[in-house]
């Protein structure tokens, strides 16, 4: 491949990726086989001080973790006859930002599928409980 063609391909990839720090689109809603639960168990990490915190959040409730406000809209688990997993629809806002820094489904068994991209904090779903 020629150098100009290679550079054009790289530039096209950068333009398609969008601005740095942009959140990926929300993952699609889980299928109809998921069972509702009332409480999400989250793990928060303050990367500056290397402190982990367990957060228990009921559906419809908002909790504060550092400058973040985490709202759980819905928490679901797979039926007992399927591989164990949990998913929760989260809206995470930062007091220092105008728009949500994360909004979408987060999965316990595959946190990299949809994760919070924040320079100071990490939030991940651990489980959904009744």
pLDDT for res 31: 73
Burial of 8 (0-12, 13-18, 19+ CB in 10 A): exposed
Tokens of residue 61, six digits: 């409730």
pLDDT for res 100: 93
Q: Quote the DSSP letter at residue 20.
A: T
Q: Are 42 and 126 in contact (CB under 8 A)?
A: yes
Count of other CB atoms within 10 angstroms of residue 124:
15
pLDDT for res 98: 85
* Torsion on CA atoms 23, 74, 111, 13, rounded to nearest 10: -20
Give dist(CA 67, CA 119) in Å, integer. Answer: 12
Q: Is 83 left (phi over 0), alpha (psi -120 to 50) or beta?
A: beta
pLDDT for res 71: 98
Q: Are 101 and 68 in contact (CB under 8 A)?
A: yes
pLDDT for res 1: 42
- For 98-125, the DSSP string reads SS-SEEEEEESS-GGGS----SSEEEEE
pLDDT digit string, tens, across residues 87-104 = 999 999 999 998 999 999
pLDDT for res 26: 52
pLDDT for res 27: 59
Element (H, E) at 54: strand 51-58
pLDDT digit string, tens, across residues 60-91 = 999 999 999 999 999 999 999 999 999 999 99
pLDDT digit string, tens, across residues 1-58 = 443 333 334 333 333 333 334 444 455 577 778 999 999 999 999 999 999 999 999 9
């Amino acid at each position: 491949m020629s150098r100009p063609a290679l550079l054009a391909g790289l530039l096209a990839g950068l333009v398609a990726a969008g601005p740095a720090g942009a959140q990926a689109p929300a993952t699609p809603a889980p299928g109809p086989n998921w069972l509702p639960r009332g409480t999400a168990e989250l793990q928060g990490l303050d990367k500056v001080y290397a402190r982990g915190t367990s957060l228990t959040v009921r559906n419809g409730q908002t909790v504060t973790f550092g400058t973040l406000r985490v709202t759980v809209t819905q928490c679901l688990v797979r039926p007992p006859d399927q591989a164990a997993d949990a998913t929760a629809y989260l809206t995470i806002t930062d007091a220092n930002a105008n728009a949500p820094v994360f909004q979408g489904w987060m999965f316990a068994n595959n946190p990299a599928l949809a994760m919070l991209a924040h320079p100071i904090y990490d939030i991940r779903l651990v489980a959904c409980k009744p």
